[in-house]
Amino acid sequence: MIQRDALSPDSIFAKVQSAMVHYTDEPFSSYLLENYTKVRKQVEADERDVFRKTTYERDTDKIEVTLQDILGRLQANFNLSDAQVQFLAETEAQYEIDAVQPIQKRIDLLFKLKEAGNDVMLISDMYLPEHVIRAMVTRADSRLADIPMYVSSSVGYQKSTGRLFSYISLILITIIKSGSTMAIIRKLMEPCHVD
């Protein structure tokens, strides 16, 4: 449905790095100001590795990380204040929203399927919070705001492992067997009901 107007997430991190210079409430270290893009990528990779390797210790099979997980690790590694972490989170989220471009062909297909009476949903495999991803798809096309959505960071499973699709399939099979309606499916997909 959407794509970034850049080739990789690195460009978003580079924009955040540029914005960090102007954050004067609690200045960032010169090391982070010069190396944030590289550090941000490495911290995310490290956090993903830790999540994959600590399912037993965390008593869960969920391995998807969130932006807060990533920035929490960055905070611990670089002694950042809560205000600095909030700045980084808000800035990254805003740049992600600003970078959205619609993939019109896919959006048109989704609404064609919906108009034909099919139930449709969006599935996102991103670490960003659901409200940010919702803002991203809404920026691409305001009609997408009402489409039910599964977000890997809310569910805890990734597309790349196949677990996200398995999780969604299991929920849908359970709902179909119980004769529930799409309204109930939407209710179940709210973040507070998806575990």
Pairing of the two strands 100-102 and 122-124:
unpaired
pTM given for the model: 0.78
Lookup result for tokens 């990380």: 65
Residue 124 pairs in a beta bridge with 151
**Other CB atoms within 10 A of residue 130 CB:** 20
Instruction: State the pLDDT at residue 91.
Output: 98
Digit-by-digit pLDDT tens for the chain (195 residues) are 888 887 666 899 999 999 999 998 999 999 999 999 999 999 999 988 887 788 788 776 676 788 999 999 999 999 999 999 999 999 999 999 999 999 999 999 989 988 988 878 787 777 898 899 999 999 999 999 989 887 766 665 556 666 655 666 555 544 444 444 455 445 545 543 333
Alpha-helical segments (H) within 54-191 = 55-58, 67-78, 82-98, 104-115, 130-140, 152-155, 163-178, 182-189
Pairing of the two strands 122-124 and 149-151:
parallel
How far is Cα 62 from Cα 55, in angstroms, rounded to an integer? 7
Instruction: State the pLDDT at residue 142.
Output: 96
Cβ-count burial 11-20 (b if 16+ within 10 Å, e if not): ebbbbbbebb
* Amino acid occupying residue 64: E
Answer yes or no: are the C-beta atoms of 124 and 149 closer than 8 Å.
yes
How far is Cα 89 from Cα 134, in angstroms, rounded to an integer? 16
